[in-house]
Amino acid sequence: MDGDDAENIYIPLKKRRLLQKELIARRRQERTKLFDAESDEENDELQHSDRNTSSFSGKECEKVALSVEKAHATNAKTAEDVENALLDYSPPKRSDVCLIDQFYEHRKRLEEEGINEEKFEKEMEEIHILKEANMVQKIALVSASERAEGIQYTTPIQTTWRAPKAVAEITLEKCESIRKKWHILVDGDDIPPPIKSFEMMRFPEAILKALKAKKINRPTPIQVQALPCILSGRDLIGIAFTGSGKTITFTLPLIMFALEEEMKMPIIGQEGPFGIIVGPSRELMRQTFEVVQHFTEALSAAGYPQLRSLLLIGGEDKRTQCELIARKGVHIVVATPGRLNHLLKTNEMNLRLCKYICLDEGDRMLDLGFDEEVSAIFNHFTSQRQTLLFSATMPQKFQDFAKQVLVKPVFVNVGRAGAANLDVIQEVEYVKQDAKIVYLLECLQKTGPPVMIFCEKKGDVDDIYEYLILKGIQAVGIHGGKDQKERNEAIDLFKNGQKDVLIATDIAAKGLDFPDIKHVINFDMPAEIENYVHRIGRTGRCGKTGVATTFINKNVPESVLLDLKHLLVEAKQSVPPVLAALDDPYMAGDDRKDPENATGSNGCAFCGGLGHRITECPKLDVHSRKLGAGRRDFLAGKYEGYGGDALG
């Protein structure tokens, strides 16, 4: 019975085939060995046949026979082993527990071990998406020659600036105490100590007087930590609220560096610049240029060498810009990417002496669309440079890849990246689309002038402008469809107080400094929450309180409304019922669910929104579609990607 039972044991087909395959392979191997042995013997016979034709001994015949028998025995033994293995095989015992119970048991065991499998998989997916999103921007801060030659700088730029002895000897505990008091977060290696006064930063008397002329007597938190880092030659990523003094933070070190280089050896025609500041909009760069000129003129009036600065933006006369470079050379260039790239490509300017570059509103500069322009600028660098990135909104993806590309960067953060200014009172109101323009008049009564109104569309800017003019309100409007002269005149009239209301698209949202704005009205809720932060940042500057009113309705995507809701909660603002009623997966009552993403920061690591994660990011979807369109093979067909094959 035992033999019958052994024969009747069921062996799975996969296992049976595997064992049979092993048996066949072993038999084939033994036959090959036997054939080789016989061939060797035949060769020996042929070689000795002439000398010993009749003397083939019986001893040799016995030797060959023995080797053949041995091979057959080995073959038989291996076959017997495989057959025994087939007979001895016993299938694994089936579990008495059903699959559902096994699943819950496995889940319980993971929870006891502190492993959340679902959360782990979600985090891995976020990291993978973030890594793919970063691939486009990573190359933007490295020149083509550096990539081709594999050049990687390991030490920061060396400067002659040194902190005063009293500051240099401050202990780490004291530094941390100062940073905690000023609400400064830092990250990096060998971070220079914070300095609480401009005098201790060793700025000349002319600069100190120019600061006081602007009513700046002491540094802001971002300046306390970032200025010593930049003066020391360190690459830096700076994040701070709008109106916190970022412009002075990156202009003063560049002016001091250019002054030092000019005093060593004056530049002549076709030379320079020593440093460049690049930003996303003409208005922002024009404003930065005015700040640079304020300090360079103060130095010149005090007897220092004349530092020549140049504004390179579209809409201005290119011939005048080129003449200054050709005749005298320039020390500092403030530019938008398009015009700067044009002059570099035509060899009307070069970056051979340039060792300093600042990307103002760095997240926008490295976003899709601008990253190619920035990459083209970096391709013209011939040596190491100091790189600075500044913005009020710097999503986690930019921070991560910038840390990898920059040279031992220092990360300075005053408030969460993308957080709203706490000095702004935010009011969100539900207004139907066709009632918006009429309701504007009521909103304008909340505060006195000056007031800014932001729109998404150029047509809305023109419509609101005409409506307010008819109602007797002094207003001006700017958008990308107007020429540069009109835009400059409108901004000047508004700054000088001749006009009470400025209506604009987002070209006026980022970086522009209007010191006394009392009220910002968002006629449309922007499609990206970071644009909302920049818009309301036009008010509540320099410690003053401002008001921001935002119109929302059913046309606003739910993901944007969730981001807005979380932003209001973070800034301790009142949340209107229409937002409170939204189904929010990341907030139950006042407690967040999984607030941190895979990178350890709150919300979306791609755009910085708090109401969603990177796996649900609408901006990432747009980014991916544009990236996919850019990679499409247009050589596959004559009209591929331009309307389909039907056009052919």
For the domain covering 142-414, report its CATH number: 3.40.50.300
- Closest Cα partner for 326 from 273, 380, 268, 261? 268
One-letter amino acid for residue 568 of the chain: L
- Measured from the Cβ of residue 285, the count of other Cβ atoms closer than 10 Å reads 24
pLDDT score for 475: 94
Class of domain 424-582: alpha beta
Distance CA 399, CA 515 (A): 29
Token pair 């760095």 is found at 362
pTM for the whole structure: 0.66
Residue 312 parent element (H or E): strand 309-312
* Strand blocks (E) in 179-242: 185-187, 236-240
What is the model's pLDDT at position 483?
85
pLDDT tens digits for range 337-362: 989 999 999 999 999 999 999 998 87
Residues 6+ apart with CB under 8 A from 228: 163, 167, 192, 193, 194, 195, 201
Q: What is the model's pLDDT at position 54?
A: 45
pLDDT tens-digit readout, 509-528: 665 677 788 999 999 999 88
Distance CA 610, CA 604 (A): 6
Instruction: Reply yes or no on whether the pLDDT at 137 is more than 60.
Output: no
For all residues of the chain together, what is the average pLDDT? 78
**For the chain, percent of residues with pLDDT exceeding 70:** 68
Q: How confident is the model at residue 367 (pLDDT cuts 50, 70, 90)?
A: low
CA distance 580 to 589: 10
Instruction: Please write the tens of the pLDDT for every residue from 526-538.
Output: 988 888 888 888 8
Residue 454 has pLDDT above 50, yes or no: yes
> In this predicted model, what pLDDT tens digit does every residue of 588-600 receive, in sequence order?
444 444 445 444 4
Mean pLDDT computed over 128-138? 55
Cα–Cα distance between 352 and 358 in angstroms, integer? 16
